[in-house]
Structure 1
Amino acid sequence: MRVASTDKRDTVIKAGKPGQISAVWDHEALQACICEKSVFKPCSPATFFLKPFPRLHPGARNPTQLQQGPLPRTLELFYDVLSPYSWLGFEVLCQYKNIWNINLQLRPSLIAGIMKDSRNQLPALLPRKAQYLKNDIRLPGQHVQVPVQFPKDFFFVILEKGSLSAMRFLTAVNMKHPEMLEEVPRELWMRVWSWDEDITEPQSILAAAEKVGMSTEQAQGLLEKIVTPKVKNKLKEDTEAAGKYRAFGLPVTVVHLDGQTHMLFGSDQMELLTHLLGEKWMGPVPAAINPKL
């Protein structure tokens, strides 16, 4: 066996008959194997072409991870169905979780609790911001292909009704049927932010759950649990967890990457998120999926 070239761009090891390709190796991986005194067992005559593989992902630790892609990165999305911007961020991340190699954890939280804890106030309480938001939400909604419409009685929906019952119900869903933690909140968002319908009364929550395929018995059972300490405490814990990441509103995306934690506020930070992950941004509605609600 002889090494015809030591150039990393085109290293060829020849053995036996020409033209027979047995394997493709990465030069640096081979060197690592040699350094570790690995033994190449005899094999049939072959020609080995050693050419560099694509650049290793920063998360790769050794040559055995070549061609395996990036390790799953954990993303936590804290959201409340009372927040239309949470809906936008939710839909984008739910699509990209099938494209990027990420572990997306959906965490229902209470925006009222986060605002109180951070001593923040709803933007809609400021007249100029309220007017801006009313017009602003339509454009990003169209951009993400989410049918967002302001409720007619916005302040009554936001300040009087709130979302406590709905978020406790989603917490119960997360605890008992996490596989439905995409469909149920989406239906609640549709009710309040598209159809101007209630999400606080028991029959409204049951209707949303049943519409996405949950049986009446399942939905009723979860609804009964929203008054239990276990569910109440879980929602409180998740809301406080967002506060520990210094959240002052929703949505909040928390990225766990290489031993560091990054908190991104809002639904318009997706390009920054792709930069952190080293992934490719293909717009809010990737062409490979292109769903329309």
Structure 2
Amino acid sequence: MKDSRNQLPALLPRKAQYLKNDIRLPGQHVQVPVQFPKDFFFVILEKGSLSAMRFLTAVNMKHPEMLEEVPRELWMRVWSWDEDITEPQSILAAAEKVGMSTEQAQGLLEKIVTPKVKNKLKEDTEAAGKYRAFGLPVTVVHLDGQTHMLFGSDQMELLTHLLGEKWMGPVPAAINPKL
């Protein structure tokens, strides 16, 4: 956000009002309960997510097989249950809920203050900037000598098109009960 000089949509009054009214509809579509944190500006703007991002960087470095489940659980804690993901106990609880041992999670949490983890997060952030990213989520696809950057969680249908796959929707079993 900083690199692109982008503003959070919630800082723009019309977009903020739109988001408050609209956020539940995509949640219903993907069958995930979504709600704004009660104190959105404090949680998102003041507290931020730096410790969680560093933790996820450490997860990726040491346990990449957990890099789908841990961020999903952290996301749910903020956007479904209005829980704090800046507190160490919350990060540990999220990691343990998806199957990481207490020792593994604690070890990774201790690494978030190390230069190795901090530098890796900076490198990853700079790499996103090179693709002209301006927010999250971003998916970068390298295909047939071309690079495609897709912004937003609503781009999965376009992603499957690029990959030559069939789009089954966010909840495939709802479309085809045999799945």
Q: Which runs of 5+ in 2 are unaligned?
A: none
Residues 184 and 209 of structure 1 are in contact (CA less than 8 Å); yes or no, is this contact kept in structure 2?
Answer: yes
Superposed structure 1 runs of 4+ greater than 4 Å apart: 288-293
User: What is the DSSP-based 3-state SS (H/G/I as helix, E as strand, rest coil) of the residue aligned with 2:142?
Assistant: strand
Deviations 1:227-282 (A, max 9, x none): 00100011111111111000111111111101111111112222222222222112
Deviations 1:66-124 (A, max 9, x none): xxxxxxxxxxxxxxxxxxxxxxxxxxxxxxxxxxxxxxxxxxxxxxxxx1100111110
User: What is the DSSP-based 3-state SS (H/G/I as helix, E as strand, rest coil) of the residue aligned with 1:173?
Assistant: helix
Residues 96 and 105 of structure 2 are in contact (CA less than 8 Å); yes or no, is this contact kept in structure 1?
Answer: yes
Please tell me the root mean square deviation across aligned C-alpha atoms, in Å: 2.4
Going from structure 1 to structure 2, the CA distance change for 1:292 and 1:191 (only over 3 Å counts) comes to: farther
Residues 168 and 175 of structure 2 are in contact (CA less than 8 Å); yes or no, is this contact kept in structure 1?
Answer: no
Aligned residues: 179
User: What is the DSSP-based 3-state SS (H/G/I as helix, E as strand, rest coil) of the residue aligned with 1:140?
Assistant: helix
TM-score between both structures, scaled by the size of structure 2: 0.93
Going from structure 1 to structure 2, the CA distance change for 1:142 and 1:288 (only over 3 Å counts) comes to: closer
Deviations 1:148-203 (A, max 9, x none): 11111111111111000001001000100111111211111111111111100111
C-alpha separation in 2, matches of 1:271 and 1:217: 39
C-alpha separation in 2, matches of 1:162 and 1:156: 8
Higher share of residues assigned strand? 1
User: What is the DSSP-based 3-state SS (H/G/I as helix, E as strand, rest coil) of the residue aligned with 2:148?
Assistant: strand
Residues 252 and 263 of structure 1 are in contact (CA less than 8 Å); yes or no, is this contact kept in structure 2?
Answer: yes
Q: Once the two structures are aligned, what percentage of the paired residues are identical? A: 100
Query: Greater CA radius of gyration, 1 or 2?
Result: 1
User: What is the DSSP-based 3-state SS (H/G/I as helix, E as strand, rest coil) of the residue aligned with 1:146?
Assistant: coil
User: What is the DSSP-based 3-state SS (H/G/I as helix, E as strand, rest coil) of the residue aligned with 2:120?
Assistant: helix
Going from structure 1 to structure 2, the CA distance change for 1:231 and 1:290 (only over 3 Å counts) comes to: farther
C-alpha separation in 1, matches of 2:177 and 2:16: 30
TM-score between both structures, scaled by the size of structure 1: 0.58
Report the more deviating stretch, 222-231 or 277-286.
277-286
